[in-house]
Amino acid sequence: MTDIDIPEDTRKSRLPKPHSQVMDEEFVTAWERFAEFREQYPDGYVEATLDRVIEHPDGHVTYVMTAAAYMVRPGFGVVARPDSTGWSQGSTKDDNPIIAGSPIESAETIARSKALKNLGILDGSKPAKAREPRTDEQNGADVAAARGRAVLSQKELAAQMSERGFPWTQATVSQVEKGERPLRLTESDHLAELIRFRT
């Protein structure tokens, strides 16, 4: 009996990637998408909304978030159709410990990232530009400059952020501007609205 050489199968699987692998990829590219979006659409806006909460019989909880991206932020009280949308879910029982530990925040980040991907921001159709991540000091200097242009004191900015549900004080603004405290994505979005802060 002779041996038969069977060629190696080099085809790519068409089966979907495991959920946790997809989530890891979204986390890696989310910050790049947000930065690219701000550069391409400085007046744009991305919002995320908790769509539903699913409580499972075994006790774990799944949070479903939807996100909408606008190339130009709609005016106050104006109903506008988003330019793209996305959704994601985070579960307290997820295989990924980051998602399981912060399911709402994880789902929000991924939903926003998917909305931007659906808008064509770093969707894989063209290579991404190399971009160095910004340091907390650089972000802080930009917050200080934007606050100055908006003619707001640190105390006034803290009060406006507090009105939006963030427990900011004058000390918080000072720490952010000195680069001693990192900005969260949701905080950046609100600062963009209040003082036209751009990352």
Q: Are residues 108 and 59 in the same domain?
A: yes
Q: Which pLDDT tens digit goes with each residue over 119-166?
A: 888 877 665 454 566 788 988 999 999 899 889 999 999 999 999 889
Average per-residue pLDDT in the chain?
83
Q: Do 125 and 134 meet the contact criterion of CB atoms below 8 Å apart?
A: no
Note down the domain range covering 158: 136-195
**Which residues have a Cβ under 8 Å from the Cβ of 136 and sit 6 or more positions away?**
179, 180, 181, 182, 183
| Residue 24 pLDDT class (50, 70, 90 cuts) | very low
Those residues whose C-beta lies under 8 Å from the C-beta of residue 159, and which sit 6 or more positions away, are none
Same domain (yes/no): 153, 188: yes
Interatomic CA distance for residues 147 and 14, integer angstroms: 50
pTM score, whole prediction = 0.54
In a domain, 42, yes or no: yes
pLDDT of residue 12: 56
CATH number at residue 177: 1.10.260.40
Do 54 and 97 share a domain, yes or no?
A: yes
Contacts of 120 (CB under 8 A, 6+ apart): none
Please tell me the predicted confidence (pLDDT) of residue 188.
84
